[in-house]
Chains A and B, each alone.
Chain A
Amino acid sequence: MTTTANETLASADLPQETDGSTPPSRKRRSSAVKLPTKESAAASKRRERTLTVLVPICVIATLIALWQIMVTVNDIPHYILPGPGLVVQSLLSDWHVLLPALWVTTKITLASLALALIGGGGMAILLVQSRWIETALYPITVILQVTPIIAIAPLILIYAPSTQAALLICAFVVAFFPILSNMVQGLKSVDHNLLNLFELYGASRWQTLIYLKLPASLPYFMTGLRIGGGLALIAAVVAEFAAGSAGAGSGLAFRLLESQFRLNISRLFAALFLLASLGVLIFALTSFISWWTLHRWHESSLKREN
């Protein structure tokens, strides 16, 4: 009893290396090889980051150049394949038509994604509460998922109060399922010992949900968010193709169809460019949200150190 509890401190298993920049055990063997210093490590990291941005830009620039060359050399008429210059031109001149359309599509996509997040997450929580609720409801969600949205769209268009509402419902239905199924998986994958621990400490159902199940399923939810974000945009476009609505409230999909009918191919390309940009933006945004919420603790957001 010469030592108190406080003195029997952890020292045997404290991390021996906190710096991490120099691999410790290789010194003797590879004395000829220059070990990376902190400065050179930072420099190589910077170079890597620059390359990560530069390489894709170069590839895209090359492809655009090839496109222009092909159009010029073969003398392709602009109503079949316009050059990139013409596309940029119509992007600027048709801005007053394309921008409202972009805004409409963005609104529908984001609104349906938000609804799918709330609906999918909430439904998942409901499903895992009892096996009977799951047995009763899960098949319906599967049927809804496996039926192609383009096939249900006409029905939804008939019953929905407005075209906008119909588009919203279509995009919601498509984005809903990946979020639901991922979330269900997450809620069911909670460490059993942690569940035992919560039971031991007399945690209520509510506490177990808030402090254990929800945070534990966050990585799964984020996967659902990334998939759902992409699908919501696709569904919003597909549904608008089916609806074929015209007028002031129409989105990018309608502008695509309209350009096709009028053989205004450069505007079609411009609309396509905006659509792709929106998709990339949604992907970047959902990826960032996922990284931001998980980077402090989850393996998927950590760089491997070895």
Chain B
Amino acid sequence: MVIAEQGSAESKTPSARSLKSSRPLVAMDNVSKVFSNGTLALSGMSMTVRPGEFISLLGPSGCGKSTALRIIAGLGDVSEGEIDWPSFRINSRGLPDGDISFVFQEPTLMPWQTVFGNVYLPLRLKGVSKKVASERILTALESVGLQDFADAYPRELSGGMKMRVSIARALVTEPKLLLMDEPFAALDEITRQKLNDDVLALWKATGITVIFVTHSVYESAYLANRIVVMKARPGRVHSDFPLHTSLERDAQYRTSEEYRQACAEVSAMLLEAMGGEEH
């Protein structure tokens, strides 16, 4: 059913969909990561990311979710194993050249730049002139509902709005893969739900692939069509399963029996992953 739904979204944006091939976006094979202080953050993690997926990377704190996400983004080396980006242009350092965007837990905006300037950053670094970029920036701002705040400075915005700017900045390059590292963890519940709905809407509208790190079972079950549960110490994949629903993911879905069941399933899986740990 979800597949049918996605199909309808696909028909809306044929150009975005036609770019996709059956090749995976990211292929992580047996990846391990040891930090310079000797901590083994990831151990033998394998995962394949396919176009159009909305993956939720779920796990207890300290299980290496964020580390995995950074490695997927090409930030930081892999200690062992291999990671490949078959669908991306690769630069001289063997890393994906653009097409991947990252939304951090904090908005991570430059306080000395206006909202416009912050969203312009990725294009500016690519050498796109302000004039050419302007339209794309305004479109990105519009997609997060901040078109009237282009000239505002970050300090003038609320926490939720800053996060929206961060999302607009991630979208302005029209990336294939959007990585989000617990993006709404610091926000209040109402704002968080609203932003979750917005991210879902963007995903449906653009066909972008999303990997969303969270420690919230409810967020995972609401957003993702594939859930990867991770186990801690050392970080590795515990289970990896699709999550389909026949319902539209909206406010009504939140109160539906199906959502409750999905939450229960995901929660059980997370408990299992945390089994054997001392609390």
List the interface of chain A (C-beta within 8 A of B). 1, 3-6, 8-15, 191, 193-194, 196-203, 207, 211-212, 215-216, 218, 296-299, 302
A1-B5, A13-B158 known; A202 vs B91 contact (CB < 8 Å): yes
Q: How far is the CA of A200 from the CA of B201 in the complex (A)?
A: 25
List the interface of chain B (C-beta within 8 A of A). 5, 8-9, 70, 73-75, 91, 97-98, 100-102, 104, 106, 108, 110-113, 121-122, 124-126, 142-146, 153-161, 164, 173, 190-191, 194, 197-198, 201-202, 204-206, 248
Would B9 and A298 count as touching, CB distance under 8 A?
A: no
Would A6 and B121 count as touching, CB distance under 8 A?
A: no
Q: How far is the CA of A10 from the CA of B141 in the complex (A)?
A: 11
- Chain A residues positioned under 8 Å from B5 (CB to CB): 1
Would A1 and B145 count as touching, CB distance under 8 A?
A: no
Quick one: which of B9, B110, B161 contacts A10, CB cutoff 8 A?
B161
- Chain B residues positioned under 8 Å from A297 (CB to CB): 111-112, 153-155
- Chain A residues positioned under 8 Å from B106 (CB to CB): 193
| Chain B CB within 10 Å, residue with most, of A191, A200, A203, A298 | A200
- Chain B residues positioned under 8 Å from A3 (CB to CB): 201
Would A15 and B158 count as touching, CB distance under 8 A?
A: yes
Would B75 and A5 count as touching, CB distance under 8 A?
A: no
B181 to A, closest residue via Cβ = A193
Would A10 and B201 count as touching, CB distance under 8 A?
A: no
**Shortest beta-carbon distance from A221 to chain B in Å:** 12
- Chain A residues positioned under 8 Å from B122 (CB to CB): 201
- Chain B residues positioned under 8 Å from A12 (CB to CB): 160, 190-191, 194
**Shortest beta-carbon distance from A211 to chain B in Å:** 7
A1 to B, closest residue via Cβ = B204
**Shortest beta-carbon distance from A162 to chain B in Å:** 42
**Shortest beta-carbon distance from A203 to chain B in Å:** 5
- Chain B residues positioned under 8 Å from A299 (CB to CB): 155
Would B155 and A200 count as touching, CB distance under 8 A?
A: no
B159 to A, closest residue via Cβ = A13
Q: How far is the CA of A296 from the CA of B198 in the complex (A)?
A: 30
**Shortest beta-carbon distance from A7 to chain B in Å:** 8
A10-B144, A10-B164, A297-B153 known; A201 vs B98 contact (CB < 8 Å): yes
List 13 A–B pairs whose Cβ atoms lie within 8 Å, in order of A's numbering: A1-B9, A3-B201, A10-B161, A13-B158, A13-B161, A196-B70, A202-B97, A203-B125, A211-B121, A212-B110, A215-B112, A296-B153, A297-B154
